[in-house]
Amino acid sequence: MQARRFRADIESADLGRIALLSTSWQTSALMAPQDRDYRAFILELHRRMAAAGSQAELIGGLKPRLYVAALVMLALVGLAMAGLLVRAILSGELAGILFLVGFAALFAWQVGGFVRRNRPQTYSFDHPPEALLP
């Protein structure tokens, strides 16, 4: 699966929605990145909408409530992992300490990028956020 993919949703006033993804299916479980073409398409779409005088609302990231819920869950997972790490240190479990430190590093790398890219934001046609483009 493609761990780093981007998505743009075009939503109409009557709530119809088109999803644009920066990946395409290669096999039933593997996705191929289309980063360069996706970036060019999104930038050209923004340029053309601005030239047409569009009044579209440009929103990036998750909805604010969902983002806050994700941050709360991350904080709870962080507290649980910190508690497990303290317990492993106090009991002298070297394997447990190494596992938790490794898992925390991998978790921070994977989830940290997701959280950073999906921060709720609004933007203008001439300044699409770099975090939303491959």
What pLDDT is recorded for position 75?
93
**Among candidate residues 23, 13, 17, 47, the one with its CA nearest the CA of residue 134:** 23
pLDDT tens-digit profile, the chain (134 residues): 446 778 888 888 787 888 888 888 777 777 777 888 989 999 999 999 999 999 888 999 888 999 999 999 999 999 999 999 999 999 999 999 999 999 999 988 888 888 888 899 998 998 888 888 88
H helices of 3-93, in order, are 35-51, 64-91
Residues β-bridged to residue 60: 121
Could you give the CA distance from residue 34 to residue 24 in angstroms, rounded to a whole number?
A: 7
Residues 6+ apart with CB under 8 A from 90: none
User: pTM to 2 decimals?
Assistant: 0.73
The residue type found at 44 is: E
